[in-house]
Amino acid sequence: MPPHQIAPYYQPSMYGAPRALQGLRADGRAQASLLISSVGLILALTAFMLGATATLIGLGDLLLGLLLGIPAMVLGPIGYFFGRSALERINASQGAVGGRGTATSGWAIGVAATALGATATLIALVLFLLANFGQPPA
């Protein structure tokens, strides 16, 4: 039997070949969103770790958690809004601009950085006030 008469092991796809994504340029705001949000999340997590370490060891460096939580609380919303703006620009380009996953990751991490930064700031502020001024009067 000649090779051209042998049935193939697979059937060709009825959907066609996927379009090439290499020609797409990524949106700059999407990349900025991911970078800014990631820095904010790292600062918030560092604030939590330093605050927990200072509390367990008994150090008076609770203010360091406060100083790291506030920038995380500021960088989180910036990353969120950059990511949402990039998603709107990507949708408006009708496939000419890529980076949808990067933009989505940027705004999701921005939300997490905002929440963790606010929590770290609040905890550090309460612990700092309790350490310096004691319990509130009953």
pLDDT digits (tens, 9 = 90+) for 67-111: 888 899 999 999 999 999 999 999 998 878 888 999 999 999 999
Q: Give a yes or no: residue 89 inside a domain.
A: yes
Residue 64 pLDDT exceeds 60: yes
Q: Give a yes or no: residue 21 inside a domain.
A: no
Q: Give a yes or no: residue 106 inside a domain.
A: yes
Residue 137 pLDDT exceeds 60: yes
Average pLDDT over residues 38-58: 83
What total number of domains does the chain contain?
Answer: 1
Q: Give a yes or no: residue 50 inside a domain.
A: yes
Q: Give a yes or no: residue 4 inside a domain.
A: no
Asked whether the beta carbons of 68 and 121 are under 8 A apart, the reply is: no
Closest by CA to 77, choosing from 66, 88, 85, is: 85
Q: Give the DSSP H or E segment for 80.
A: helix 62-92
Q: Give a yes or no: residue 5 inside a domain.
A: no
Average pLDDT over residues 21-25: 64
What is the residue range of 66's domain?
A: 27-133
**pLDDT above 90: percentage of residues in the chain:** 36
